């Protein structure tokens, strides 16, 4: 399956990135390590900043291959501070998603089925540009259509986004929890690292702990920090803070 091929290409790079970040001096870690969310917030809404979110998003969507790792970091975490931010948004066209899901597990697709998958993924990513799962499926669709260059371009985008998350910590404990902009990214990130989630626990005040199928080579679970995700969500949905 396509997802397994993606895992192989990402895991070695992501692991190396985390090691390099942890071993690097402070100046290097500031380049692409744990994100400075306040700096990203300020830059993402400043139309005069080189990291203005709409500018970065346009570059991302038009397949600009010159984007730097820092730009990807500002793009990914800048999502938190946009007016339409909603980490719990429902998938685009649930019925269509259910129709294409079985196709994603097949090696052979008809031309119409390939187009069906691609059409849905394009719509889903236009609605939610940081949708890691549908970016991955979009790569699958391009590969099945024989669009090698587009598959490589979108694989490069996905790798950069995964590296941004990987650079935010190690996931080993609360102090080094990975930072994500969507709870779904916790599962997608681990899956694309070749790990299968088996259980989820929320730990106060703002940590998700995801248990995975254990092997001797990795911990039994990983931590994700969703502090800013929850903060921005409730700022935009204050009614959900009310007691039942």
Q: Do the beta carbons of residue 162 and residue 130 sit within 8 Å?
A: no
The encoded tokens of residue 32 equal 């692409």
- pLDDT of 214 reads 77
pLDDT exceeds cutoff 80 at 120? yes
Residue found by looking up tokens 């929320």 in the block:
202
Cis status, amide bond into 205, omega within 30 of 0: yes
> Residue 197's beta-bridge partner residues?
212
Q: pLDDT by residue (tens digit) across 134-181?
A: 999 999 999 999 999 999 999 999 999 999 999 999 999 999 999 999
At residue 223, what are phi and psi to the nearest 5 degrees?
Answer: -105, 140
Domain-by-domain residue ranges, the chain? 2-169
∠ Cα 241 242 244 (to 5°): 125
71-86 pLDDT per residue, tens: 999 999 999 999 999 9
Q: Select the more confidently predicted residue: 242 or 113.
A: 113
Span 22-50, mean pLDDT? Answer: 76
Q: Residue 178: phi, psi to the nearest 5?
A: -70, 145
Q: How far apart are CA 213 and CA 196, in angstroms?
A: 6
Tokens of 111: 């031309």
- Number of Cβ within 10 Å of residue 241's Cβ equals 9
Residue ranges of E strands in 101-160:
none
Candidates 108, 91, 100, 156; CA nearest to 1 is: 108
Q: Decide: 153 and 56 in contact? Cβ < 8 Å.
A: no
Per-residue pLDDT tens digits for 180-212: 999 999 999 999 988 999 999 999 999 999 999
The tokens for 92 are: 């685009």
């Amino acid at each position: 399956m396509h997802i397994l091929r993606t895992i192989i290409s990402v895991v070695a790079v992501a692991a190396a990135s985390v090691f390099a970040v942890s071993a690097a001096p402070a100046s290097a870690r500031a380049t692409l390590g744990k994100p400075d969310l306040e700096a990203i917030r300020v830059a993402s809404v400043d139309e005069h900043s080189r990291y203005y979110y709409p500018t970065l998003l346009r570059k991302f969507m038009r397949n600009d291959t010159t984007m730097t790792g820092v730009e990807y970091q500002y793009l990914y975490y800048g999502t938190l501070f946009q007016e339409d931010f909603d980490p719990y948004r429902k998938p685009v066209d649930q019925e269509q998603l259910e129709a294409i899901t079985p196709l994603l597990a097949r090696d052979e697709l008809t031309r119409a089925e390939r187009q069906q998958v691609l059409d849905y993924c394009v719509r889903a990513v236009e609605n939610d540009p940081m949708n890691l799962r549908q970016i991955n499926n979009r790569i699958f669709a391009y590969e099945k259509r024989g669009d090698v260059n587009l598959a490589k371009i979108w694989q490069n985008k996905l790798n950069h986004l995964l590296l941004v998350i990987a650079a935010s910590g190690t996931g080993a404990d609360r102090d080094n929890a990975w930072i994500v902009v969507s709870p779904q990214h916790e599962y997608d990130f681990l899956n694309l690292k070749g790990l299968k989630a088996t259980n989820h626990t929320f730990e106060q005040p703002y940590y998700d702990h995801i248990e995975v199928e254990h092997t001797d080579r990795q911990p039994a679970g990983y931590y994700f920090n969703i502090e800013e995700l929850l903060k921005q969500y409730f700022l935009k949905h204050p009614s959900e803070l009310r007691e039942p």
